Chains A and B, each alone.
Chain A
Amino acid sequence: MPFDHDTVVGFSKSFGLFYLVTLSVIALAWTYWPSNKKGFDEAARLPVREEEDRPWR
């Protein structure tokens, strides 16, 4: 396979597509995975939680 312009274009147009579609599917699945919801809800409340402004030890 020669490393010329057409090869690079072909690679970008095929692999690039699958790469991005796969990543999107993974990201979406993870975000909407039902069992992840609880963790997200807790995380969302992190900035507004009333607690002492101190680190744990």
Chain B
Amino acid sequence: MIADLTRAERQWAMMILGALGIVGLAMAVAGRNDLLGIHGWIVLAAGLGGFIAFMRGKDAPEPSDDRLNEYYDAPTRLGIILTLLWGVVGMGAGLWVASLLAWPELTFDAAWASFGRLRPVHTSGVIFGFGGNALIATSFHVLQRTTRARLPDQISPWFVLLGYNLFCVIAASGYLMGLTQSKEYAEPEWYADIWLVVVWVVYFAIYMRTLARRKEPHIYVANWYYMAFILVVAILHIVNNLAVPVSFGSAKSYSLFSGVQDAMTQWWYGHNAVAFFLTAGFLGMMYYYLPKRAGRPIFSYRMSIISFWGITFMYMWAGSHHLHYTALPHWVQTLGMAFSVVLLVPSWASAGNALLTLNGAWHKVRDDAVLRFMALAAIFYGITTFEGSFMAIRAVNSLSHYTDWTIGHVHAGALGWVAMITFGSLYSIVPSMWKRPSLYSAKLVEVHFWLALSGTVVYVFAMWNSGVIQGLMWRTYTESGTLSYSFIDSLVAMHPYYIARAFGGLLFLLGALVALYNVVMTIRMPAPATEDAALDIPVQPALQAGE
């Protein structure tokens, strides 16, 4: 990595790392009586470690100009590995949290292992660690291929990727120590939030600078989705995290908002995090890798544009469906509900577009597990958005809210859509990224596919059942008008489903481990004798399943 950089870039890198180390030291000193201090030491270690690596590598010869004849894929390669590692960590935490709900004694009386601390490690680990790294890695790949332009420089992609992972580490380690600002999906405290803004601005700048140098006249639709993801996440993140720290030496901060305004801001953020992090970015992935793998252009390019504008306009207004029957004004709830229902149109336009693209290539879907991952993702995207629009209707929400039905919906989206499209996309680029003729084992992809599918089905059905039972038990009255079931009765009824869910999660996690193994073994395969033989993607025949 260091040898890739020009001399000037190495100096820049050392300045950035030095500055990071100084900031870390300042945090460590100012926060010495606070948990902030521990994060200071982590930041200092990151800055110092990087700096030392550069001290040792800075005298490597200047890279040859030949590099400009190739895309800059090194950040994508590391991003892929980080995605898979965070996947295992985040899903491992998910399995633990799931087990805690079935067997609460698994905290072992340790504060850091309590449900309240491990749960955000799971959600941030999978959404930001796994999903975020996948988005960064694939966006760099797609951006370069669809503009035919190399990334503008070799340092900002590393800054984004490594800076982002530093944020993830700060977030996860903070939760274990009990640091949180109690906003779901926005738990990290003010200093981590500021850091993420810096990283994100650089990320957006990479996109703009590469687009400015593009060779293709038209900006392929996948890039629009990626850009919407980057831009909107920046806006959401900044507004929802507006807060005043107690002091510069304290990790604790107080939000600028309070009461119902706070709730509305949080769920405007929360829902659009779903929309632009877990949906728009991954749609970008789908719109590039699915046609590419299927060898067919997207069924209707126009439909993809309409879905794009539909999604970007409407999601913004749907957040209030998270606050049905609260102090939020009734008309705002109704507004969110109406937009959520209409949202089904652009959502299904995307799902349908993907499936119609596969129409005529179903034999490929049957034979190629990689493409099957993507096809299944499109199906689950359709299911989840239908379910979401339905749950957003106030009367339905009165049954589903606070129950495991929401958790079922979340994981139909998270496992079935987000994780499946990610695994499919990663498998499809791993061989070309490491210049190998094929993956180490197509059989293992097949194994992973069935583990992932069965894990998802077990998980989601367990939660649907459990959620509806729970909801019904809470609203069943006796003839005399009292509740038929106590809360503890509903917990007892949940128990078998919690065990089933943990089992489904175990299957899914095993699949993620298989993926990691397969990718590592692919990287360790001997490189083909002539580099050119492996240059062009995709390597179709070698990946046929069952051969």
Q: Do A and B form a real pair?
A: yes
Residues of A in contact with B (beta carbons under 8 Å apart): 5, 9, 12, 20, 23-24, 27-28, 30-32, 39-48, 52-57
> Is the CB of B221 closer than 8 A to any CB of chain A?
yes
Between A and B, 18 residue pairs with Cβ closer than 8 Å are A23-B309, A24-B313, A40-B302, A44-B291, A44-B297, A44-B298, A46-B146, A46-B218, A47-B146, A47-B222, A47-B289, A47-B291, A47-B292, A54-B70, A55-B70, A55-B149, A55-B215, A56-B148
A10 to chain B, nearest CB (A): 11
Q: Which residues of A contact B69 (CB under 8 A)?
A: 54-55, 57
- Contact A48/B295 with A20-B313, A24-B313, A27-B306 known, Cβ cut-off 8 Å: yes
A41-B218 Cα distance, complex, nearest whole Å = 10
A45-B357 Cα distance, complex, nearest whole Å = 12
Which one of A32, A42, A56 has the highest number of Cβ atoms from chain B below 10 Å of its Cβ?
A56
Q: Mark B268-306, 1 if CB is under 8 A from A, else 0.
A: 000000000000000000001101100111100110011
Q: Which residues of B contact A57 (CB under 8 A)?
A: 68-69
> Is the CB of B76 closer than 8 A to any CB of chain A?
no
Q: Which residues of A contact B220 (CB under 8 A)?
A: 43, 46-47
> Is the CB of B331 closer than 8 A to any CB of chain A?
yes
| B536, A52: Cβ atoms closer than 8 Å | yes
- Contact A39/B217 with A47-B292, A55-B71, A55-B150 known, Cβ cut-off 8 Å: yes
Residues of B in contact with A (beta carbons under 8 Å apart): 68-71, 144-146, 148-150, 215-222, 288-289, 291-292, 295-298, 301-302, 305-306, 309, 313, 329, 331, 335, 432, 535-537
Which one of B215, B218, B221, B292 has the highest number of Cβ atoms from chain A below 10 Å of its Cβ?
B218
Which chain A residue shows the least CB distance to B308? A27
| A53, B305: Cβ atoms closer than 8 Å | no
Chief secondary structure at chain A's binding surface: helix
| A48, B292: Cβ atoms closer than 8 Å | yes
B369 to chain A, nearest CB (A): 20
A56-B295 Cα distance, complex, nearest whole Å = 23
A46-B302 Cα distance, complex, nearest whole Å = 15
Which one of B69, B150, B297, B298 has the highest number of Cβ atoms from chain A below 10 Å of its Cβ?
B297
Partner of A43, one of B148, B218, B295, B537: B218
A5-B69 Cα distance, complex, nearest whole Å = 60
Partner of B296, one of A32, A46, A48: A48
A17 to chain B, nearest CB (A): 11
Q: Which residues of A contact B329 (CB under 8 A)?
A: 5, 9
Q: Which residues of A contact B145 (CB under 8 A)?
A: 47, 53
Q: Which residues of B contact A39 (CB under 8 A)?
A: 217-218
Q: Which residues of B contact A43 (CB under 8 A)?
A: 216, 218-221, 301
Q: Give 5 nearest A-B pairs by CB, closest first.
A: A27-B309, A44-B301, A43-B218, A55-B150, A47-B292
Partner of A31, one of B288, B298, B305: B305
A18 to chain B, nearest CB (A): 13
Which chain A residue shows the least CB distance to B70? A54
A37 to chain B, nearest CB (A): 8
Which chain B residue shows the least CB distance to A19? B313
- Contact A53/B537 with A23-B313, A31-B302 known, Cβ cut-off 8 Å: yes
Q: Which residues of B contact A41 (CB under 8 A)?
A: 301
Which chain A residue shows the least CB distance to B147? A55
B47 to chain A, nearest CB (A): 32
A42 to chain B, nearest CB (A): 6
- Contact A45/B297 with A39-B218, A54-B69, A55-B144 known, Cβ cut-off 8 Å: yes
Which chain A residue shows the least CB distance to B296? A48
Q: Which residues of B contact A45 (CB under 8 A)?
A: 297
Q: Which residues of A contact B335 (CB under 8 A)?
A: 12
Partner of A53, one of B146, B216, B536: B536
Q: Which residues of A contact B150 (CB under 8 A)?
A: 55
A35 to chain B, nearest CB (A): 13
Q: Which residues of A contact B146 (CB under 8 A)?
A: 46-47
| A9, B331: Cβ atoms closer than 8 Å | yes
Q: A44-B291, A44-B301, A54-B70 are in contact. List 9 more A-B contacts (CB 8 A).
A: A40-B302, A41-B301, A43-B219, A43-B221, A44-B298, A46-B216, A53-B145, A54-B71, A55-B68
Partner of B218, one of A20, A31, A40, A56: A40
Which one of B217, B219, B305 has the highest number of Cβ atoms from chain A below 10 Å of its Cβ?
B305
Which chain A residue shows the least CB distance to B293? A47
Which chain A residue shows the least CB distance to B219? A43
- Contact A53/B535 with A40-B218, A46-B220 known, Cβ cut-off 8 Å: yes
Q: Which residues of B contact A52 (CB under 8 A)?
A: 535-536
Which chain B residue shows the least CB distance to A56? B215
A24-B345 Cα distance, complex, nearest whole Å = 13
A52-B298 Cα distance, complex, nearest whole Å = 21
